[in-house]
């Protein structure tokens, strides 16, 4: 059984009020935080390390290791929660914010206690109005119950949580852009080093963690790091939320043990239930828009963050899995992704600012019947200027990974759908739109 | 327009939450937009004054983020997703149909947006940042009309969420 409900348990047990303090307390909420307050911070970090927890936002960096980069004796230090979920087709953090904000608050409290932070900031995506409301309510309720504020539970530990709203900028999901935005500037990435752990928010030591990462912490402490870490494969331990969407029967968030397969996620009855109308998976994007693509023949690939990169050059990334059946045009999907990246490019680095626009315009002319034979090679050349070598994991001529991410659809077209691009050029139009292919 | 008294109090409480007042600029822009339906030059000047910034600095932040509207857009912002899941579930067609239907309606602003993180309900839209999922053109128009008739209660044009968590109540 690949489905395993750990961080989604409360949501399933209390579907009508999972976001309330009553539901949280009735389902073990804040017990792990109370336990944590009786532990040495280093012991908590040890449990998280034993659990093998890696960041659930996309990069997959080991959480306990990230925490260890904080310079000793340097205060204040901040925890900043990245709740700016904008990777296309990722909708897991929104669910956690709306349906289990106390799980996040408890995770923030545990992480803050562990790293020695007294003020945590949550940067919530601007469009998440309900998620913001529920998180604000959860913070207030937690304060009333004495889980936030001064001298929490008599421990001497103080913590405040400030909930902040973004305003529509995908780039702010990149941690240094997020920090710039939180400081009240344009959300533009900064060159690292210095890394945020050394010089982050207000130039103070700062840890930036994703919503799901933090929401996992109470469960690691409750289960014990060793037991949590016993789930999974290789360096991909525990469970993860996967957002499945596209031409499937039951799109949604599914929590699976790492080490399951894309086939179980996409085709099994307890998950997405297969392709609409009994059709076949033509291609799928396995880890958010920034990842390269896979084909139906790759469905047995294992949900293992490292193995998919080593074997296929793709990422599990943010856990978004977009499924396309035989009626979907890969050129149209690539063009729409390119348009997204061009729209969201912050403009700081020339290769991204100019390149994403070029990729969009060339893909658009192919899709709309004005493509030229040499266009795919032109796209690869533009892509090579943003991400030299066109490899995965990618190299980059830009500060942040947005630019290189825009190259992934182009590389995927080249790898799997060169014939379809040529068909667009030959027919002077999209074969799917004209009915030639559907 | 200037903040009314309630919102000026809220603005001060928001500023108090941050170690550095400049951090409050985005929240204050949301507050202004919820009050007035857009971010006016007067609001920018007032926010600048409250944060000890120049109006140009506040405008610079305002213009970077797509949610802030620098001209009046009507009472209802209808945000329709056309990104890569909605793309194959009818999002672009929905965007076009709603745009046509409300083309001459000054109260309804239909805009194309990037992924709203509701792909399990594609095609989806937000009306003043409340979600509506699994739409057809008909159900989407019914929904927007429901807001217009008052049968549905709308948030502010910026989502209406300016609660002050931590650092005192609003």
DSSP letter (8 states) at residue A243: E
Check: CB of residue B39 under 8 Å from CB of residue B68. Answer: yes
CA nearest to B127, candidates B56, B162, B77: B77
As a whole number of angstroms, the longest Cα–Cα distance in chain B is: 49
pLDDT digit string, tens, across residues A217-245: 999 999 999 999 999 999 999 999 999 99
Residue to test with chain B: of A98, A135, A328, A336, most B Cβ within 10 A: A336
DSSP letter (8 states) at residue A171: G
Two structure tokens written together for B157 = 């044009």
> Looking at beta carbons, which residues of chain A come within 8 Å of B24?
184
Are A165 and B30 within 8 A, CB to CB? yes
CA dist., res. B40 & res. B30, Å (int): 12
- What φ, ψ does residue A71 adopt, rounded to 5°? -65, 135
- Give me the pLDDT at residue A1, please: 59
Closest residue in chain A to residue B114, using alpha carbons only: A340
CA dist., res. A371 & res. A414, Å (int): 15
- Give me the pLDDT at residue B76, please: 97
- Give me the pLDDT at residue B1, please: 76
B29 at the A interface (CB within 8 A)?
yes
A401 alpha-carbon distance from chain centroid: 13
- What φ, ψ does residue A178 adopt, rounded to 5°? -60, -45
Check: CB of residue A324 under 8 Å from CB of residue A282. Answer: yes
> Looking at beta carbons, which residues of chain B come within 8 Å of A104?
none
3-state secondary structure of B110: strand
Residue among A89, A139, A285 whose CB faces B165 most closely: A139
Report in angstroms the alpha-carbon separations of B26 from A48, A84, A142, B8: 34, 14, 25, 15
B151 at the A interface (CB within 8 A)?
no
State the smallest CA–CA distance between residue B83 and chain A in angstroms: 7
CA nearest to A305, candidates A290, A292, A288, A287: A287
Burial tier of A195 (Cβ tally within 10 Å: 0-12, 13-18, 19+): middle
B131 at the A interface (CB within 8 A)?
yes
CA dist., res. A132 & res. A143, Å (int): 17
> Looking at beta carbons, which residues of chain A come within 8 Å of B86?
none
- Give me the pLDDT at residue B42, please: 97
pLDDT digit string, tens, across residues B61-76: 999 999 999 999 999 9
- ipTM comes to 0.95
- Tell me which residue has tokens 């795919």: A376
Query: For strand A206-210 and strand A78-83, is the pairing parallel, antiparallel, or unpaired?
Result: parallel
Beta strands in B1-107 (DSSP E): 76-81
- Give me the pLDDT at residue A209, please: 98
Cα angle value A55/A59/A62 (rounded, 5°): 40
B129 at the A interface (CB within 8 A)?
yes
> Looking at beta carbons, which residues of chain A come within 8 Å of B88?
246-247, 324, 327-328, 333
Are A333 and B84 within 8 A, CB to CB? yes
The mean pLDDT value for B36-51 works out to 97
- Give me the pLDDT at residue A2, please: 87
Q: Assess whether the previous peptide bond of A194 is cis (omega < 30° from 0).
A: yes
In which region does residue A149 sit, left (phi positive, over 0), alpha (psi from -120 to 50) or beta (all else)?
left
Burial tier of A327 (Cβ tally within 10 Å: 0-12, 13-18, 19+): middle
Predicted structure pTM score: 0.97
> Looking at beta carbons, which residues of chain B come within 8 Å of A132?
159, 161, 163
- Give me the pLDDT at residue A392, please: 87
- Give me the pLDDT at residue B168, please: 33
- Tell me which residue has tokens 């032109």: A378
CA dist., res. A13 & res. A381, Å (int): 52
- Give me the pLDDT at residue B170, please: 31
Residue to test with chain A: of B52, B161, B168, most A Cβ within 10 A: B161
- What φ, ψ does residue A179 adopt, rounded to 5°? -65, -40
Least confident interval from A71-80, A242-251, B4-13, B154-163: B154-163
Two structure tokens written together for A204 = 């103070």
Cα angle value A414/B120/A287 (rounded, 5°): 35
Are A184 and B51 within 8 A, CB to CB? yes
Two structure tokens written together for A408 = 């992934």
Q: Which residues contact A271 (CB under 8 A, 6 or more apart)?
A: A2, A3, A244, A250, A254, A256, A264, A265
- Give me the pLDDT at residue A89, please: 96
CA dist., res. A47 & res. A227, Å (int): 10
- What φ, ψ does residue A317 adopt, rounded to 5°? 45, -125
* Ranges under pLDDT 70 in chain A: 1, 438
CA dist., res. B142 & res. A383, Å (int): 44
Q: Band of the pLDDT at B160, cuts 50, 70, 90?
A: confident
> Looking at beta carbons, which residues of chain A come within 8 Å of B161?
129, 132-133, 136, 165
- What φ, ψ does residue B28 adopt, rounded to 5°? -70, -35
- Give me the pLDDT at residue A197, please: 98
Check: CB of residue A289 under 8 Å from CB of residue A402. Answer: no
A247 at the B interface (CB within 8 A)?
yes
What is the separation, in whole angstroms, between the first and last Cα of chain B? 20
CA nearest to A123, candidates A69, A71, A177: A177
- Give me the pLDDT at residue A433, please: 87
> Looking at beta carbons, which residues of chain B come within 8 Å of A245?
85, 119-120, 122
Residue to test with chain B: of A8, A108, A162, A178, most B Cβ within 10 A: A162
């Amino acid at each position: 059984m690949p489905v395993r409900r750990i961080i989604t348990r409360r949501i399933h047990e209390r579907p009508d009020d999972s976001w309330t303090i009553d539901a949280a307390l009735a389902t073990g909420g804040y017990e792990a935080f109370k336990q944590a307050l009786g532990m040495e911070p280093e012991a908590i970090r040890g449990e998280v390390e034993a659990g093998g927890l890696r960041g659930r936002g996309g990069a997959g960096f080991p959480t306990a290791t990230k925490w260890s980069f904080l310079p000793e004796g340097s205060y204040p230090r901040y925890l900043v929660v990245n709740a700016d979920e904008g990777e296309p087709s990722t909708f897991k953090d929104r669910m956690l914010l709306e349906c289990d904000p106390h799980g996040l608050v408890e995770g923030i409290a545990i992480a803050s206690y562990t790293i020695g932070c007294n003020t945590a900031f949550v940067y919530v995506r601007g469009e998440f109005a309900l998620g913001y409301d529920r998180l604000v309510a959860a913070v207030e309720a937690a304060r009333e119950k004495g889980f936030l504020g001064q001298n929490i539970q008599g421990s001497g530990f103080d913590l405040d949580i400030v909930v902040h709203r973004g305003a529509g900028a995908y780039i702010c999901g990149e941690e240094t852009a997020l920090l710039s935005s939180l400081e009240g500037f344009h959300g533009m990435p900064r060159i690292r080093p210095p890394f945020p752990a050394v010089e982050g928010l207000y130039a103070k030591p700062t840890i930036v963690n994703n919503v799901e990462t933090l929401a996992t912490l109470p469960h690691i402490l409750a289960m014990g790091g060793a037991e949590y870490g016993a789930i999974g494969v290789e360096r991909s331990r525990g469970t993860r939320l996967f957002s499945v969407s596209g031409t499937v029967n039951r799109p949604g968030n599914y929590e699976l043990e790492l080490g399951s397969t894309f086939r179980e996620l996409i085709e099994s009855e307890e998950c997405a239930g297969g392709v609409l109308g009994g059709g076949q998976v033509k291609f799928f994007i396995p880890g958010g828009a920034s990842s390269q693509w896979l084909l139906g023949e790759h469905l047995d690939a294992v949900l293992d963050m490292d193995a998919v990169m080593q074997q296929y050059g793709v990422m599990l990334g943010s856990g978004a899995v977009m499924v396309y059946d035989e009626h979907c045009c890969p050129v149209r999907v690539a063009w729409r992704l390119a348009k997204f990246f061009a729209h969201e490019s912050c403009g700081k680095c020339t290769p991204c600012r100019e390149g994403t626009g070029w990729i969009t315009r060339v893909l658009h002319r192919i899709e709309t019947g004005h493509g030229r034979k040499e266009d795919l090679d032109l796209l690869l050349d533009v892509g090579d200027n943003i991400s030299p070598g066109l490899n995965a994991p990618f190299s980059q001529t830009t500060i942040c990974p947005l630019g290189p991410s825009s190259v992934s659809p182009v590389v995927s077209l080249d790898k799997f759908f060169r014939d379809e691009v040529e068909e667009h050029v030959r027919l002077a139009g999209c074969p799917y739109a004209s009915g030639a292919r559907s | 327009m200037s903040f009314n008294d309630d919102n000026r109090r809220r603005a001060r409480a928001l500023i108090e939450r941050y170690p550095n007042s400049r951090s409050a600029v985005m929240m204050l822009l949301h507050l202004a937009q919820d009050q007035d339906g857009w971010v006016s030059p007067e609001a920018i000047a007032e926010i600048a004054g409250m944060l000890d910034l120049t109006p140009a600095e506040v405008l610079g932040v305002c213009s970077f983020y797509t949610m802030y509207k620098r001209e009046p857009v009507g009472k209802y912002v209808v945000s329709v997703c056309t990104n890569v899941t909605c793309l194959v579930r009818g999002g672009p067609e929905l965007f076009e149909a709603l745009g046509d239907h409300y083309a001459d309606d000054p109260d309804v602003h239909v805009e194309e947006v990037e992924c709203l993180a509701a792909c399990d309900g594609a095609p989806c839209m937000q009306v003043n940042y409340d979600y509506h999922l699994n739409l057809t053109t008909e159900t989407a128009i019914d929904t927007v009309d429901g807001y217009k008739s008052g049968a549905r209660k709308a948030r502010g044009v910026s989502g209406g969420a300016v609660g002050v968590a931590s650092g005192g109540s609003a």
